A and B are shown apart, each in its own frame.
Chain A
């Protein structure tokens, strides 16, 4: 009979074939093959009695993208955890620094593949600041309109993923139906379904057309109703609510200390939204509220983060409605030369993406390529919360809390 040998620990003899096999298997173990480099590593990778490591990801059915989380568990309880990043790293900042200004728009698109228009928005705004261009009003309206549509689709998808990570099958497909309608709609003006490559420096690529407007009208007439129906599936579900309430609490101070932005911050009771705090585009002219939840002492849990996004969908629908009513006529592109050579300078622009503040810092040295481009991605910051909120929870909650933080790996790994 085989005897159980610990693949991490010491082995009796090195030439035992089973031991050799164990060594091979050890290559897939959570423990890195090198000695610990920091105190944190030494502490994390030492096991106490009854504890074991378990690898969640990068190929796990429920991690978002290729996130790998090394969990140190004691039975079902998570003692400690360590997210390992970098499986989707493209070096997008360097790619941007080596391509000209128009080119960058297509490079940053896949950063956050769920809501890629926002990924174009911030760099485009930064470059407009560098070039000192006035964007036509119609273009600004179209940007806000498409952006809010995409925010709805992103939050709808969030709802589905959330349920899927808790084991519910149906909501993800309803979400995808919802998202598919929006994405098809956007494809009618942008020409793409996922990586739109639509915003241009000084405007947008194409004007609103009949196809888009008819699809939008069709969707708007039943969006609110459909939204209500999809909410009803989960919001009152006892199993769902019990699993979400009080789990993954992030209080106000922690959230501010960890520089969390976006819905995750607002769900902890801080009414901060870039659209109101540092208004850009036409947002000052629009009427909408900043939904805030989790102001109470027990606030800031997963359920708050979930419900807040549902509130935001309602506000986005309101914004879309206003945009459609106030849409002015006029050009959609500012007049710009083909080859852009901004004066030397630096610019920072930030937008409120569905996951938080998404910002771009660009330095121009007078050539047709930016000298330096820094991308601030909200998912990366928000993901840092898992180390704080997950300890002591059950393993089943790891995925639920992570889903409630809504990270997108494209943006995290950049």
Chain B
């Protein structure tokens, strides 16, 4: 007991409050949960089952909130590492393997910093502006389909919702810039307003052609239409639209070369100049969540969403017909219950047996290796193989696992492109930026819309006639 009290004496005041609370939570929470489940469980189930939509919404919101932070962490780490590699540096390498926990620690640091607000700042707006920015970033997650059926809310006006909510971010940035009582912040906020409002227009117009083609504004619907071969992806039917969308989305996410709102060589850090602590963290996270959203949108709209570039079934049919092969589509039809007591044996024996089997070659070929080391290696290898096998099975058996995997591969490819651009390009000037939006992107988007509409009319006429 004395050791506990001694270690407690080193804990800060906040920790002393937190530790009993944690203890209470661990003990009381399960009891309370069980009691609640027993007492109000049946009633709750009956209520919730009649309101499935609400449950779905709450679950989706929770999932999205939980997902956005790790996504931001991964992208921050990726940005640090990729730009470092492009600069012939090593980048973060001390915390975690290869510095992987660096952004996590940076997040903790942000949490532990002083929450400072400057004199004469509008405290209320100053506090809530980052929350607004972060909120808009997270809210857009709600309509993005991560896999077939894996979408928070499949709104039939999904795209419209996305642009509407995304457009709200500018209010947050402007408020942040205005309330900081700093000229740099003010300039940054104004720049953000000008830039984001200007680029909303080509951004929205570039997608109208796609909406005409798809006939729906639901992102899930658009994604479903791009199934099959990669030729079905909208990027091949809307190349100009995809290009305009990519450029405008870069500007919307305030990424290099359009990162004028936080141009460090001109206006220090723009709207974020006076922010510190978690308020800055919100702005920071929002930026990276935005990067992910823009990449995900790019993938969803133009690069086939969750669909794999190859249609396996079609490929098999093609091979069977042309080359005379006899390939059958794999159907996973497992019934573990059918094995009976054998299942238990399988679960007991297979890991051990495989571990030993994988360990044997190491043990036999490497005389330096001790038995336990070889077994450890074998166990690691077994895990890799098992996870791989599980994934393969899931990939073949369940659409949504394959969907998620493809979706993230493609999304992070686009995140890489954004980071890559940041590592290469200098920043454009504000008048070039605005001129580019109004003189080039807007006419190009209108041209794209005109061409698409004409093509649809012509094709329909040809089909009819």
Contact (Cβ within 8 A) A168 B429: no
Contact (Cβ within 8 A) A173 B88: yes
A239 in contact with B88 given A18-B120, A396-B263 (CB within 8 Å) = no
Q: How far is the CB of A107 from chain B (nearest CB, A)?
A: 33
Contact (Cβ within 8 A) B119 A394: no
| A243 sits at the interface (CB 8 A) | yes
Q: How far is the CB of A162 from chain B (nearest CB, A)?
A: 9
| B93 sits at the interface (CB 8 A) | no
| B94 sits at the interface (CB 8 A) | no
CA distance in complex: A398, B267 (Å): 11
Contacts of A173 in B (CB 8 A): 87-89
Contacts of A18 in B (CB 8 A): 120
Contact (Cβ within 8 A) A167 B88: no
Chain A residues 1-27 with CB under 8 Å of chain B are 1-2, 5, 18, 21-22, 25
| A163 sits at the interface (CB 8 A) | yes
Chain B residues 255-296 with CB under 8 Å of chain A are 256-257, 259-260, 263-268
Q: Mark B423-462, 1 if CB is under 8 A from A, else 0.
A: 1111111111000000000000000000000000000000
CA distance in complex: A237, B119 (Å): 43
Chain A residues 214-264 with CB under 8 Å of chain B are 233-234, 237, 239-240, 242-243
Contact (Cβ within 8 A) A54 B184: yes
Contact (Cβ within 8 A) B256 A167: yes
A240 in contact with B430 given A170-B86, A173-B89 (CB within 8 Å) = no
| A208 sits at the interface (CB 8 A) | no
Contact (Cβ within 8 A) A22 B427: no
| A399 sits at the interface (CB 8 A) | yes
Q: Mark A379-403, 1 if CB is under 8 A from B, else 0.
A: 0000000000000001111110000
Partner pick for A239 among B119, B426, B431, CB 8 A cutoff: B426
Total interface residues on A, CB under 8 Å, equals 37
| B237 sits at the interface (CB 8 A) | no
- Which chain B residue lies CB-closest to A53? B183
A243 in contact with B426 given A22-B120, A25-B120, A169-B83 (CB within 8 Å) = yes
CA distance in complex: A25, B265 (Å): 24
Partner pick for A399 among B256, B265, B425, B430, CB 8 A cutoff: B265
CA distance in complex: A62, B187 (Å): 17
| A174 sits at the interface (CB 8 A) | yes
Q: Mark B84-98, 1 if CB is under 8 A from A, else 0.
A: 001111000000000
Chain B residues 139-177 with CB under 8 Å of chain A are none
Contact (Cβ within 8 A) A166 B183: no
Contacts of A148 in B (CB 8 A): none
| A347 sits at the interface (CB 8 A) | no
Contact (Cβ within 8 A) B426 A167: yes
A166 in contact with B264 given A25-B120, A174-B87, A174-B88 (CB within 8 Å) = no
CA distance in complex: A237, B427 (Å): 11
| A35 sits at the interface (CB 8 A) | no
CA distance in complex: A170, B420 (Å): 11
| A132 sits at the interface (CB 8 A) | no
| B224 sits at the interface (CB 8 A) | no
* Category for how many chain B residues contact A: 20 to 34
A399 in contact with B426 given A21-B120, A54-B183 (CB within 8 Å) = no
Contacts of A1 in B (CB 8 A): 122
- Best-surrounded residue of A2, A242, A398 (most CB of chain B within 10 A): A2
| A177 sits at the interface (CB 8 A) | yes
CA distance in complex: A52, B187 (Å): 11
| A164 sits at the interface (CB 8 A) | yes
Q: Mark B51-78, 1 if CB is under 8 A from A, else 0.
A: 0000000000000000000000000000
Q: Is the interface of A mostly helix, strand, loop or mixed?
A: helix
| A165 sits at the interface (CB 8 A) | yes
Contact (Cβ within 8 A) A242 B432: yes
| A61 sits at the interface (CB 8 A) | yes
CA distance in complex: A60, B122 (Å): 24
Contact (Cβ within 8 A) B87 A164: no
CA distance in complex: A76, B188 (Å): 11
CA distance in complex: A114, B16 (Å): 53
Chain A residues 123-149 with CB under 8 Å of chain B are none
Contact (Cβ within 8 A) B265 A165: yes
Contacts of B86 in A (CB 8 A): 170
CA distance in complex: A173, B89 (Å): 8
CA distance in complex: A60, B267 (Å): 9
Contacts of B119 in A (CB 8 A): 21, 25
A164 in contact with B265 given A173-B88, A239-B257 (CB within 8 Å) = yes
Contacts of B89 in A (CB 8 A): 173
Contact (Cβ within 8 A) A62 B264: yes
Contacts of A167 in B (CB 8 A): 256-257, 259, 263-265, 425-427
CA distance in complex: A174, B260 (Å): 24
- Which chain B residue lies CB-closest to A397? B429
Contact (Cβ within 8 A) B428 A2: no
Partner pick for A60 among B268, B428, B432, CB 8 A cutoff: B268
Contacts of B260 in A (CB 8 A): 396
A61 in contact with B265 given A2-B120, A18-B120, A167-B426 (CB within 8 Å) = yes
Partner pick for B432 among A52, A170, A243, CB 8 A cutoff: A243
Contacts of A398 in B (CB 8 A): 266
A170 in contact with B259 given A239-B428, A242-B432 (CB within 8 Å) = no
Contact (Cβ within 8 A) B422 A399: no
A169 in contact with B257 given A2-B120, A61-B264, A394-B430 (CB within 8 Å) = no
Q: Mark B344-380, 1 if CB is under 8 A from A, else 0.
A: 0000000000000000000000000000000000000
Contacts of B422 in A (CB 8 A): 169
Contacts of A240 in B (CB 8 A): 426
Contacts of B257 in A (CB 8 A): 167, 239
- Which chain A residue lies CB-closest to B124? A1
Contacts of B87 in A (CB 8 A): 169-170, 173-174
Q: How far is the CB of A258 from chain B (nearest CB, A)?
A: 25
CA distance in complex: A242, B433 (Å): 11
Contact (Cβ within 8 A) B426 A166: yes
A394 in contact with B431 given A21-B119, A167-B256, A399-B266 (CB within 8 Å) = yes
Contacts of A5 in B (CB 8 A): 120
- Best-surrounded residue of B257, B265, B268, B428 (most CB of chain A within 10 A): B265
Chain A residues 346-393 with CB under 8 Å of chain B are none
Q: How far is the CB of B254 from chain A (nearest CB, A)?
A: 12
CA distance in complex: A18, B83 (Å): 45
Contacts of A165 in B (CB 8 A): 265
- Best-surrounded residue of A2, A62, A167, A399 (most CB of chain B within 10 A): A167
Chain B residues 11-50 with CB under 8 Å of chain A are none
Q: Mark B179-208, 1 if CB is under 8 A from A, else 0.
A: 000011001000000000000000000000
A168 in contact with B424 given A2-B122, A21-B119 (CB within 8 Å) = yes
Contacts of A237 in B (CB 8 A): 425-426
CA distance in complex: A107, B88 (Å): 35
Contact (Cβ within 8 A) B88 A177: yes
CA distance in complex: A174, B427 (Å): 18
Contacts of B187 in A (CB 8 A): 54, 76, 395
- Which chain B residue lies CB-closest to A403? B265
What are 19 A-B residue pairs whose CB atoms fall within 8 Å in the complex?
A: A18-B120, A25-B119, A52-B183, A164-B265, A165-B265, A166-B426, A167-B263, A167-B425, A168-B424, A170-B86, A170-B423, A170-B424, A173-B87, A234-B426, A239-B426, A242-B429, A242-B432, A243-B429, A395-B266
Binding site for B on A (CB under 8 A): 1-2, 5, 18, 21-22, 25, 52, 54, 60-62, 76, 163-170, 173-174, 177, 233-234, 237, 239-240, 242-243, 394-399
5 additional A-B pairs beyond A166-B427, A396-B429, beta carbons within 8 Å, are A2-B122, A21-B120, A54-B187, A167-B427, A170-B87
Cβ-closest 8 pairs across A and B: A167-B427, A62-B265, A168-B426, A166-B426, A173-B87, A167-B426, A165-B265, A61-B264
